[in-house]
Amino acid sequence: MSDASENWLQRVRLTAAEPGVWLNCGRMLRQAAEDLWVSGNAHDNSPGSELGATVLASYQAPDFTPPPTGGSTRNACFMLFGYALENLAKGIIFGRDPSLVTQKALERLGEHGHGLVYLFEMAGIDLTEQERQVLDRTTRMTVWKGRYPVPLRFASSSPHDPMLGYVAVNDVWPEDEYDNLSALYEKAKSELTNTMRSVPPLPDNYDFANPS
Q: Is residue 18 part of a domain?
A: no
CA distances from 111 to 27, 104, 171 (A): 25, 11, 28
Q: Is residue 151 part of a domain?
A: yes
180's enclosing H/E stretch is helix 177-198
**102: DSSP letter:** S
What integer pLDDT is reported at residue 148 of this predicted model? 79
Tell which wins on pLDDT, 199 or 57. 199
What integer pLDDT is reported at residue 165 of this predicted model? 37
CA distances from 206 to 21, 108, 211 (A): 18, 22, 7
Task: Look at residue 127 and tell me whether its pLDDT is greater than 80.
Answer: yes
Q: Is residue 75 part of a domain?
A: yes
Please provide the DSSP assignment of 130-155 as one string.
HHHHHHHHHHHIIIIITT-SS-SSGG
Q: Is residue 54 part of a domain?
A: no
What integer pLDDT is reported at residue 167 of this predicted model? 35
Q: Is residue 55 part of a domain?
A: no
What integer pLDDT is reported at residue 150 of this predicted model? 72
What integer pLDDT is reported at residue 168 of this predicted model? 37
Domains in the chain, number: 1
Q: Is residue 53 part of a domain?
A: no
Q: Is residue 49 part of a domain?
A: no
Q: For the chain, what is the radius of gyration of the CA atoms?
A: 20
Task: Look at residue 157 and tell me whether its pLDDT is greater than 70.
Answer: no
What integer pLDDT is reported at residue 190 of this predicted model? 98
Domain containing 140: what range?
27-37+67-198
Could you read off the pLDDT of 38-70 as tens digits, one per residue? 988 887 777 656 655 444 444 455 565 556 778
Smallest CA-to-CA distance from 135 within 148, 147, 149, 121 is with 121
Task: Look at residue 194 and tell me whether its pLDDT is greater than 90.
Answer: yes
What integer pLDDT is reported at residue 142 of this predicted model? 84
Percentage above 70 pLDDT, the chain:
76
Instruction: Average the pLDDT over 116-122 and give the result.
Output: 95
Mean pLDDT of the chain: 82
Q: Is residue 48 part of a domain?
A: no
